[in-house]
Homo-oligomer: A and B are copies of this chain.
């Protein structure tokens, strides 16, 4: 069975897990702590980033962008209206723009610093950078969430799904990041009803279920985390 190296608090990992689940793939999940920089892991992916997919012939695909494009080329292209990338090149460009937005921009503005301060640092040794969260980083990242939720609200309010009329990689990328922020109780849903309605639709999909039952050590999720009707 193929193996996916992932971390439960990595948006890019969740994104690829959702794609695999939507397309009905079984994989063995291996949790990787990227800050440990394990030699065996770096030999699979010298960039040290998650996720990494290793197929049955031990061929390696590294990173959410690479894996998602590969999955589209080898499987998505045959799925017709269940394809998670569009057929039209401009629509594909819009989906990819939003993937970048949620997996790179939201990631560096919000998700990565918050996860590092609130989750990774609990598990890191002091010489790896572990310790108490840096309140200044928390404050900056939280200030950024509000802008991102506004943009998500605008997208969710102006189109049936984030990139157009069909569910796509853009929705899965956004929901991956949102689910991590929601786990940590960082999202004020009362302020974002339109985004909430969109996220409810995502959360209710069978592909999402494994993400909602997963727990990370040292951090209990917010009480409504796994509720489909929150």
- Give residues in A with beta carbon < 8 Å to B: 46-47, 59, 61-63, 65-67, 69-70, 73-74, 89-90, 92-93, 96-97, 100-101, 104-105, 151
Contacts and interface: CB of A to CB of B under 8 A. Distances in A.
B70 A100 contact: no
Contact of A89 (B74, B96, B105, B151): B74
A100 B66 contact: yes
B59 A97 contact: no
A89 B73 contact: yes
Interface of A is mostly: helix
A105 B47 contact: yes
B93 A69 contact: yes
Nearest to A73: B89
Contacts of A74: 89
Q: Closest 3 CB pairs between A and B? A: A73-B89, A66-B96, A66-B93
B65 A89 contact: no
A100 B97 CA distance: 15
Contacts of A46: 151
Given A46-B151, A47-B101, A151-B46, A92 B73 contact: yes
